[in-house]
Amino acid sequence: MGHSGQGLPGTPQGQGPQALPGVQYVVAVGSGKGGVGKTTVAVNLAVSLAKLGHRVGLIDADIYGPNVPTMLGLSRQPNIVGDNRIEPLTAHGVKFMSIGLISPGDKPMVMRGPMLHGIIKQFLQQVVWGELDFLLIDLPPGTGDVVISLVQTVPLTGAVVVSTGSSVALQDARKALEMFHQVNVEVLGLVENMSQMTLPDGTVLDVFGAGMTKQTAGQYGLAFLGSIDMDPRVREGGDRGLPSALGSEGPRAREFMAIAQAVAEKAKAAAAESEDVLEIS
C-alpha cells in the first residue's frame, strides 16, 4: 500500500523510495491543521511504543516548528560519527532527530522545497538509526512538500492522522486523508486529541466536539485509534520534557498506551498486506 512513489513530481525514473536497513515500520504522523497537538501525540506515541518494548525512533520533520526536542527534554547538538553520519539523541527510550537540534533558538527556518527535500533525506539516510521496530515521522501540519519528499525517499508503512473534533479541524484532516491517498500511503487510522475535559468537580466539558473524529473515521472506512482527553498536565509534561505517556497510572498515559497498541497492530497488518501485494505483482 505505502510502497509507491511513482507518478510524483520530481521523482527520477527508476529511483524509487529505498527501504531503511534495520527499520521495520515507518509511520508518519500528520494533521491537516496546526494546533491540534500532532507533535504531542507523536512524542507520546513514541514513548508509549518504547514502553511496550519496541525500539523506537522519531524524526521531527516539522521544519518550521520543531518542538520535539522541548517535548523530549533534550536539545544538545548531535554528534557526527564515522563517515559524516549523525548520531541521534536518546530520551525516554526514544532515539530522535530534529532540525531544532541543528539550528536551536528562535531563528526561524526559512526554506524552499529542494532544501527541505535534502533535510528529510539526510534525517532518514544519514542518521545512525540502527535497528528499529518503529520510526515515527512528525510531519508539519497541512499537505506540503515534506510529505512528497518523504514518500520519494522511503517506503512508508502508513500514516496516523490527528485531529480535534471541531468541524474546522476535521475539514482539514479530510484534506490530509486525501493527500495520503494521492501518494499511495495507507492511513492506519485517526486519533482525536483534546477530546473532552473533566473538571475537578467531575463535570465533563465538551470543548471541541468529542466523538466527531470517530464519526469521520467511520465515514472513510478507517480505524479510529483512540482519543486523548483535554488535560493541562499533557501540556505541562510537554513543556517540561516529561511526556504524559511516561506515567504508568494516569488516564492520559493509558489513552496513549491504547493508541500505541492500536498503531502497532495496524502497522503490522499494513506491512503484511503490502508484502502480499508485492508477491502477487
Beta strand extents in the chain (DSSP E only) = 23-30, 56-60, 80-81, 85-86, 89-91, 94-98, 132-138, 158-163, 187-192, 197-198, 204-205, 224-227
Instruction: Name residue 81's amino acid.
Output: V
- Residue 249: its pLDDT value, please? 78
- Residue 103: its pLDDT value, please? 74
Cβ atoms of 204 and 197 within 8 Å: the answer is yes
- Residue 187: its pLDDT value, please? 97
Cβ atoms of 258 and 252 within 8 Å: the answer is no
- Residue 248: its pLDDT value, please? 78
Please count the helices (runs of H) and the strands (runs of E) in the chain: 9, 12
Residues for the chain: how many in total? 281
CATH code: domain 23-280 is 3.40.50.300
pLDDT along the chain (281 residues), means of 10: 44 70 96 92 98 97 89 94 93 95 70 78 94 96 82 95 94 94 95 94 91 95 96 95 91 96 97 72 45
HSE-up (13 A, CA, CB side) for residue 189: 19
Instruction: Name residue 233's amino acid.
Output: R
Set of cell numbers at residue 223:
480505524
- Residue 268: its pLDDT value, please? 96
- For the entire predicted model, the pTM comes to 0.90
Positive or negative torsion for Cα 6, 157, 150, 20: negative
